[in-house]
A and B are shown apart, each in its own frame.
Chain A
């Protein structure tokens, strides 16, 4: 993974860290202003649309944690988003509306699924890993597709959003937006802490050379599995929020197209930067919205962009950015 390794080269780490903090703050502040823009332009849909973007930013962030820092190309990551969404949908059906209970179930389910499938997938590497995570993702997808008690293929719509300790504050789109943004910021800080911790260092060391890590006395498997589980749990949080944003739950959330799109977001934004996943989510989803204005065949545009980026800018959009504004070396 040469693209991943170059992102964390120790060239002037202080400057890099500072500029990254500034960039992150700028992005989050800009995001926080969206509802204001939405209010001024009298377009309430904007807030809701950006809530969705933030949800996928959380999912992409979680994927970047394992893809960028562990070189684990998981092609089944959307499954965890689905688990989160179904935790909301299924519990709602049975009268459990509290978001904390739903979150606990989503995270628990994701942790168990990630532990089992991760333990099997991590026995392999490279192409095998990609295909196995893809297959397990599809397994989860088919499971929920055939679950006719909960809508099956069609999914199910929710009567209400989740409650927070008995209060229905989330019914307000504005509150949901800021809750989602707050979650994103919190998880971003958590992911940054993880990456810079000893655990994160071991993970990155394994990404560079698993054999050497073993030689100096680490067991990469445990660290990789733990990271795989953490990423899955984080993605399920995104799922809980997605179900609340859309007030609808469907197996389509976990299809392999979604998993592919999550990878695309991380790559376009720049692998192994944490912020990249967030930027990628914003760019990809805005691009989708924008392209779908012109044509129903917007996927073609996305596909074309993907191929062009892979062929000409291996570092993603961030790479283009760096190239245009000059390398700071």
Chain B
């Protein structure tokens, strides 16, 4: 039981880390540009597909990753320049519609290029196999690497936002955009940079997860909805909130699916427990979100009122 618990805890943290990478970009874009991007999940998907393609082309995962990341950033900048830039001053409804349309186009585009069937990416040799943790469980090295890389990015993000000039501009932009603009900061450049940054984080998440999950055209959507939940729980614009909420959501979701049915067996007979457990488990994080919002409408770390 302890083994299973530890295993699922690690899986939950790993999911949480991935969610954080996607949600961090979303929350920055919401917070700074007041822009809702339904197509953000597509960048995660594109990251995964590009790594799959480049890894197959070059023969090594690392080279694939090295080429895929700049490619995702370039793609994000391309979208920013041709579409998003025109939507910043529009209503949220217009933004939802246009990015929803973009998501349809890009998802279909991915289907046209790579087909609908899942693609598998081999785990890089250096990180294959598993190691023994605490002497009780075997855990795949690659998954540990994902967790480590995610934490490294989170720390890097913290340093960048709290201790550098660029981060200062980001924070200033999030709290008062016109003022930053009036002080002579090139806001167009700042927005593009935030976008490229968000695209890179999402693309990186997709690229890392490619060897663990199958890469398919639906992967962007499932992660996008979860990332929305994370952003709402954490509070829009707060990267710290996104981190806490992502880990909580990842762990609650993973644990709920495993232990929900087991816990229910204490009060129900086994078949009913597994049925109810499987039905209720996917709803857990939404119930969690509802609870958080009932107490704090602007999320855990949301500073402003629900705007």
Interface of A with B (CB < 8 Å)?
Answer: 1-3, 67, 73, 75, 117, 120, 123-128, 130-132, 134-136, 138-139, 142-143, 145-149, 256, 260, 263-264, 267, 271, 297, 299-300, 302-307, 309-311, 314
Contact = CB atoms under 8 A, between A and B. Distances in A.
Interface in B76-126: 83, 86-87, 90-94, 96-98, 100-105, 107-109, 111-112
B232 interface: yes
Contacts, number: 138
A124 B97 contact: no
B151 interface: no
A138 B306 contact: no
Contact of B293 (A1, A120, A134, A309): A120
B108 A307 contact: no
Q: Is the interface of A mostly helix, strand, loop or mixed?
A: helix
Nearest to A123: B297
Given A138-B286, A300-B108, A148 B94 contact: no
Contacts of A131: 36, 228-229, 231-232
A263 B96 contact: yes
B219 to A, nearest CB: 15
Count class of interface residues, chain B: 35 or more
Interface stretch (B50-58, B167-175, B191-199, B275-283): B275-283
Interface of B: 30, 34, 36, 38, 83, 86-87, 90-94, 96-98, 100-105, 107-109, 111-112, 221, 225, 228-229, 231-232, 236, 275, 278-279, 281-283, 286, 289-290, 293-294, 297-298, 306-307
Contact of B225 (A67, A117, A256): A256
B93 A1 contact: yes
A327 B228 CA distance: 41
B228 A134 contact: yes
B279 A130 contact: no
Contact of A149 (B92, B96, B275, B281): B275
Given A2-B91, A124-B297, A139 B283 contact: yes
Given A138-B225, A143-B282, A1 B100 contact: no
Contact of A256 (B108, B221, B279): B221
A142 B283 contact: yes
A300 B93 contact: no
Contacts of A124: 293, 297-298, 306
B221 to A, nearest CB: 7
A248 to B, nearest CB: 21
A303 B108 CA distance: 10
A267 B279 CA distance: 34
A126 B298 CA distance: 12
A124 B111 CA distance: 36
B105 A303 contact: yes
12 contacts: A73-B93, A126-B306, A132-B293, A135-B232, A139-B283, A139-B286, A256-B221, A264-B97, A271-B93, A297-B112, A302-B104, A303-B103
B297 A146 contact: no
A314 B94 contact: yes
